[in-house]
Amino acid sequence: MLTPPSDTHPEKGIVTQLRGYLAQLDLPEDGRLPPERELSAALGVSRTELRKALDVLEAEGQLWRHVGKGTFMGSRPLDTFADIAALARRSNPAEVMRARIVMEPEIARAAAFTATPADIAEMRMCLARSRQAETWRQYETWDTRLHRTIAEASQNTLLLGLFDTLNAVRRAVTWGRLRTDPVKPHADHHSFAEHEAIVEAIEHRDIAAAAAAMRTHLQTVERKLLDRQ
Amino acid sequence: MLTPPSDTHPEKGIVTQLRGYLAQLDLPEDGRLPPERELSAALGVSRTELRKALDVLEAEGQLWRHVGKGTFMGSRPLDTFADIAALARRSNPAEVMRARIVMEPEIARAAAFTATPADIAEMRMCLARSRQAETWRQYETWDTRLHRTIAEASQNTLLLGLFDTLNAVRRAVTWGRLRTDPVKPHADHHSFAEHEAIVEAIEHRDIAAAAAAMRTHLQTVERKLLDRQ
DNA sequence: ATATAAACCAAATGGAAATTGGTATCCAAC
DNA sequence: GTTGGATACCAATTTCCATTTGGTTTATAT
């Protein structure tokens, strides 16, 4: 499968010639260098020989290559997938709640700064729809969407991404213990008033109240969660 | 910008006609329904009138629309991206700092609760090493490790995972504008005292002070960051 | 006034064509 | 018989362009 590097003996000259050429070359921002076919022509060597030299530099970690993409100086960018499944495996509902209590009040605080009228309109719609929900399933859909709308309103794509990750883990952890009650949430379910308070605070640009209301809400949710176990 | 729904008075007949048509329609897996131009023809109404009816259904949350994509039944799906590269592409240094200021003070607060003596010992080592650093490169290594040790001390694998994600994005975003100064940090660099204050607060289990010290520190970093641009 | 039709726009999609690193084959040279 | 070069081919990826789609504007008619 893999050919041991020591198997071939590329002329050392080609490697050093390549090194010099690359050093003298001014690379684009991403460190991409010309395709092999051009490079071999520019250096006056065959593609086979050039590739042997490139093999050496790659083994040294000086560059990395990928089919269809090209050859790049530097080290290969990290495999960049926050493995949600792995996170969920290590975590548990209590941790998820603690993480929510850490993140979401501060997100709400930021949202109170930056929310647009459209954001607030969508929050209000989520409130209304969650009140009209006929099943817990529907209720949770609109509850989730309300919280995400608040995260969107923070106008920070990174915070939103972190929130989504947290949410994905939450779904994965909570999966299997979903509420399947046929009954629907009572009209005086604690979340209704608490959600209302959060949106109210955001609408009034009261950043401290927004954070506090979100914290209160999540702490209530946490208490209910622990009670049930 | 937004047209108030009450502004127009679409024939209620069209809305109910549309409701019926959609109910009778068997939708594809993704809930996508025919483009407006087809729908209006099928229903024998003008596109303008159809759109008014669609506006109603959208306001009710029964469907969502997006230019270029189409119109879909149900509620708008959340596009969850745990892809760090994608996150980094959409984000920027300012956002990263805001996200840090949101997350890390609260993480420090949690850490002040749960840090073990071993955690604190490691934090102190990071402090010492960062003071001894001979280059900015070294300094940043120990700075990063200090912040991560604090996240570890929160004893919450999910928070730690989110912190790591944030950090990966930070590295990706900051890439290319790394400090290459040959000089090393001054002995009175602001971070030294600020780091000290954070660890001190954690050690004394002063959760409020820990959060405050971390927030102060990151706000200083943010200020310096913006100054340089 | 209101509704309709038509045209236009920008976002998004889809697919063909071109590009690129990797691999196999054939052939000449020594 | 081994080595190296030229060529062709492969699959992953990108690039480019036409098309589609929801959103908006304009002109026309009733």
Mean pLDDT of B56-73: 90
Q: Which CATH architecture has domain A5-73?
A: Orthogonal Bundle (1.10)
Report the residue from A121, A144, A162 with minimal CB separation from B166. Answer: A162
Give residue B90's pLDDT band: very low, low, confident or very high (50, 70, 90). confident
Question: In the prediction, which pLDDT does B7 show?
Answer: 45
Rounded distance in angstroms from the CA atom of residue B36 to the C1' atom of nucleotide C8: 17
Asked if the Cβ–Cβ distance from A164 to B106 is below 8 Å, we say no
Q: What is the pLDDT of residues B153-196, one digit of tens each?
A: 999 999 999 999 999 888 877 765 555 566 666 766 788 999 99
Tokens at residue A88, please? 């969920």
Please state, in angstroms and as integers, the Cα–Cα distance from residue B227 to each residue in B2, B187, B192, B215, B224, following that order.
38, 21, 19, 18, 5
What strands, in cross-sheet order, belong to the sheet with B70-73? B32-33, B70-73, B63-66
CB B72 within 8 A of CB B29: no
Choosing among A119, A157, A158, which should be mutated to test the B contact, i.e. which has the most B CBs within 10 A?
Answer: A158
> Which residue does chain A place closest to B82, by CA atoms?
A82
In angstroms, the first-to-last Cα distance of chain A is: 54
Phi, psi of A64 (to 5 degrees): -140, 155
Report the residue from B1, B83, B158 with minimal CB separation from A96. Answer: B158
Q: Which residues of A touch B90 (CB under 8 A)?
A: 157-158, 161
Please state, in angstroms and as integers, the Cα–Cα distance from residue B10 to each residue in A177, B5, B43, following that order.
44, 10, 15
CB A116 within 8 A of CB A153: yes
> Which residue does chain B place closest to A147, by CA atoms?
B78
Rounded distance in angstroms from the CA atom of residue B76 to the C1' atom of nucleotide D23: 18
Tell me the count of A-B CB pairs closer than 8 A: 124
Domain boundaries, chain B: 5-73, 84-227
Question: Nucleotide C9: nearest residue by CA–C1'?
Answer: B67
Question: In the prediction, which pLDDT does B177 show?
Answer: 56
**What ipTM was assigned to the predicted interfaces of this complex?**
0.72
In the three-class reduction of DSSP (H, G, I as helix; E, B as strand; rest coil), residue B73 is classed as strand
Q: Is A70 left (phi over 0), alpha (psi -120 to 50) or beta?
A: left
Question: In the prediction, which pLDDT does A75 show?
Answer: 73
Report the residue from B80, B84, B156 with minimal CB separation from A168. Answer: B80
Four-residue CA torsion sign, B33, B38, B39, B42: negative
Query: Could you please report the per-residue DSSP string of A169-204?
Result: HHHHHHTT-----SSPPPTT-HHHHHHHHHHHHHHT
In chain A, the percentage of residues whose pLDDT exceeds 90 is 56
Give residue B1's pLDDT band: very low, low, confident or very high (50, 70, 90). very low
Q: Which residues of A touch B84 (CB under 8 A)?
A: 78, 80-82
Q: What is the pLDDT of residues A173-213, one digit of tens each?
A: 876 565 556 667 776 788 999 999 999 999 999 999 999 99
Q: What is the pLDDT of residues B5-36, one digit of tens each?
A: 434 555 667 899 999 999 888 778 888 999 99
With CA of B58 and C1' of each nucleotide, the nearest comes out as D22
- Mean of the per-residue pLDDT values for chain A? 86
Q: Which residues of B touch A116 (CB under 8 A)?
A: none
> Which residue does chain B place closest to A167, by CA atoms?
B80
Rounded distance in angstroms from the CA atom of residue B33 to the C1' atom of nucleotide C1: 33
Report the residue from B81, B107, B158 with minimal CB separation from A95. Answer: B158
Query: What class, spelled out in words, does domain A84-227 have in CATH?
Result: mainly alpha
Q: Does B61 contact A at CB distance below 8 Å?
A: yes
Q: Which residues of A touch B211 (CB under 8 A)?
A: none
Give residue B72's pLDDT band: very low, low, confident or very high (50, 70, 90). very high
Q: What is the pLDDT of residues A21-44, one digit of tens each?
A: 998 888 887 889 999 999 999 999
